[in-house]
Amino acid sequence: MKFVKHYLAGLSLAVPVALTGINAQAEEPLAQGLDKFLGGIYAPSQLEDFSHYFNQVVAENSGKWGALVSGNRAPLTVEDYNESWFDNNDWHGGLENSIQFARDNDFPYRFHVLIWGSQQPSFLNGYVDEPETQRMAIEAWFDVLAERYADDFDFLEVVNEPVNDAPDADSSSGVNYIEALGGTGETGWDWIITSFEMARERFPNSQLMINEYNVISGGVINPYTDIIDLLHERELIDAIGFQAHAFSTTGPTETLAANLDRLAEYGLPIYVTEMDIDAPGGNERTQLREYRRVFSLFWEHEAVEGVTLWGFRPGIWREEANLIREDGSERPAVDWLRCYMDGQRHPDSHAGIVPGQEVTVPSNATAGDGYGEILDCYGAHSSPTDGWHVSGGTGQSVLDVTEDGRVTPVAGASFEQSSYTLDVVARMGDSESEPVTVNVVIGGWQDRPPSAELPSGGGSSSGSTGLLFLTLLGLLGLGRWARRA
């Protein structure tokens, strides 16, 4: 497979050809040197600094049949494409450029997509009663791509969303050409088998894939595995893809893991084809925590050989899922991704702590109780961190960190300002991370009486002792005043 060549190239230290800007934090892709890829989509809004983050390419829209054949065009033969389409269709430029970009950087390329129920040429609905004509058009579509790009598609999505969006809808939003591929037939999915047989004949050197959403959540896992069973027993499928858009990964980690394990039973490589995680309402902390939970689950599974993010800059399909802000700065999830990948490269050293974190501790916090959570550069369920300590910062005398990474007040200390910094170190056996500064905000600090001491978790009586002392002083003063009178 050509992917082996791309992977070996990815292990080199050569700097990729880049579409660059001023905001990327590193010259190399985040997964450089690892045995899995982190991919991205090729789209106009996503090109800046692409190769500073990603090392696999898929065109977001420009490989879809309906994007390439628009308007009044109705190509039924390869000659129809060659004569009028490739020289005149603007969308073709996007497909060609995405492939050339992968070539220039020696990144593996995934083609998206041959057969789907959406974004397909509308002219096909004019031949619903002529499946032979539709079949001619489908074969021409396969043939022209094979003629031009058979050696460029490392991965080829043969069918996209077969359960949720089959090509059986005769409407303005879909197309109906399922009968041209054999319909449901004896297996219930004959049209998919036919599509893969046609693809195997034309793209013998590409890994043939299937792709679907709501698989990992369990919504369509049963019919999806039914389809994979049919393809696998016929040796027509080389890899399994599943989408991981934000709406499908919010369920329990145990559910996601169980469905991932179920897909892995086939012994085929698994690719997370379209992943994004929202920052709902701009809540970047939520996005960060979900990346630690979900992305790490996928990445660390032995059957998963690559993850592709469905965009990372503003202008993507999931509007709240961008990892780069409008001003070009990176959201915290990127900081985590970067240090997480570094930890994957150097497993014997502690990967570190996510920079730029902020924790809120209430002004009436109890010493010994933990507040907030400091996040390290590991997965939420795979962290080897076994301890923390504070090495400096303006809050070192009044704040500490518990063994599970939460901030706690020091017994008997007083908060004298509304925020502090802590230089925090994480420990993994004998290995320690570099100190990272964590900002600590004292919630409700303005409402506290001046110099009020913190309550102690150990039931200290220092507060009541002080009150008794002040009371005695008051009584003595009152007695002296009475004798003078």
**pLDDT band at 484; cut points 50, 70, 90:** very low
pLDDT of residue 463: 44
Which is more confidently placed, 448 or 186? 186
**At residue 160, does pLDDT exceed 90?**
yes
Question: Are the C-beta atoms of 85 and 123 separated by less than 8 Å?
Answer: no
pTM confidence score? 0.87
Instruction: Write down the residue that tokens 């009541």 correspond to.
Output: 464
The span from the CA of 291 to the CA of 377, in Å, is 11
The tokens describing 84, both together, are 């009028």
Question: Are the C-beta atoms of 189 and 229 separated by less than 8 Å?
Answer: no
* Residue type, position 213, single letter: Y
pLDDT of residue 304: 98
pLDDT of residue 17: 44
Q: Is the peptide bond before 78 cis (omega within 30 degrees of 0)?
A: no
**pLDDT band at 446; cut points 50, 70, 90:** low
**Which tens digit of pLDDT belongs to each residue from 176-191?**
999 999 999 999 999 9
The tokens describing 434, both together, are 């570099």
The span from the CA of 166 to the CA of 212, in Å, is 11
Q: Which are the contacts of 55, defined by CB distance < 8 A and separation ≥ 6?
A: 10, 16, 29, 31, 32, 37, 38, 39, 105, 107, 108
The tokens describing 109, both together, are 């390329």
Which of 21-25, 119-123, 230-234, 443-447 holds the top average pLDDT? 230-234
**At residue 382, does pLDDT exceed 80?**
yes
pLDDT of residue 394: 97
pLDDT of residue 204: 97
* Span 373-379, average pLDDT: 97
* Span 24-52, average pLDDT: 90
Q: At what angle do helices 190-202 and 131-149 cross, to 10 degrees?
A: 30
| Phi, psi dihedral angles at 417 (to 5 degrees) | -150, 170
**Which tens digit of pLDDT belongs to each residue from 202-221?**
999 999 999 999 999 999 99
pLDDT of residue 172: 67
* Span 327-337, average pLDDT: 97
**Which tens digit of pLDDT belongs to each residue from 287-311?**
999 999 999 999 999 999 999 999 9
The span from the CA of 44 to the CA of 67, in Å, is 15
Which residue ranges form the domains of the chain, and what is each CATH number? 2-345 (3.20.20.80), 358-456 (2.60.40.60)
pLDDT of residue 85: 58
pLDDT of residue 74: 85
* Span 397-412, average pLDDT: 96
Which percentage of the chain shows pLDDT scores above 90?
77
pLDDT of residue 84: 61
**pLDDT band at 478; cut points 50, 70, 90:** very low
* Span 49-54, average pLDDT: 96
The span from the CA of 180 to the CA of 384, in Å, is 54
3-class SS string, the chain:
CHHHHHHHHHCCCCCCCCCCCCCCCCCCCCCCCCCCEEEEEECHHHCCCHHHCCCCEEECCCCCHHHHCCCCCCCCCHHHHHHHHCCCCHHHHHHHHHHHHHHHHCCCEEECCCECCCCCCHHHHHHCCCHHHHHHHHHHHHHHHHHHHCCCCCEEEEEECCCCCCCEEEECCEEECHHHHCCCCCCCCHHHHHHHHHHHHHCCCCEEEEECCCCCCCCCHHHHHHHHHHHHHCCCCCEEEEEECHHHCCCCHHHHHHHHHHHHCCCCCEEEEEECCCCHHHCHHHHHHHHHHHHHHHHCCCCEEEEEECCCCCCCCCCCCCCECCCCCECHHHHHHHHHHHHHHCCCCCCCECCCCEEEEECCCCCCCCECCCCECCCCCCCCCCEEEEEECCCCCCEEECCCCCEEECCCCECCCCEEEEEEEEEECCEECCCEEEEEEEECHHHCCCCCECCCCCCCCHHHHHHHHHHHHHHHHHHHHHHHC
Which is more confidently placed, 339 or 74? 339
pLDDT of residue 69: 82
* Span 313-322, average pLDDT: 94
Poorest-pLDDT segment among 175-179, 328-332, 454-458: 454-458
**Which tens digit of pLDDT belongs to each residue from 65-115?**
988 886 667 889 998 887 665 544 454 558 889 999 999 999 999 999 999
Closest CA to 16 of 32, 37, 39: 32
* Span 357-363, average pLDDT: 96
pLDDT of residue 83: 67
Q: Rounded mean pLDDT of the chain?
A: 87
**Which tens digit of pLDDT belongs to each residue from 135-157?**
999 999 999 999 999 999 999 99
**pLDDT band at 26; cut points 50, 70, 90:** low
Question: Are the C-beta atoms of 117 and 168 separated by less than 8 Å?
Answer: yes
pLDDT of residue 448: 53
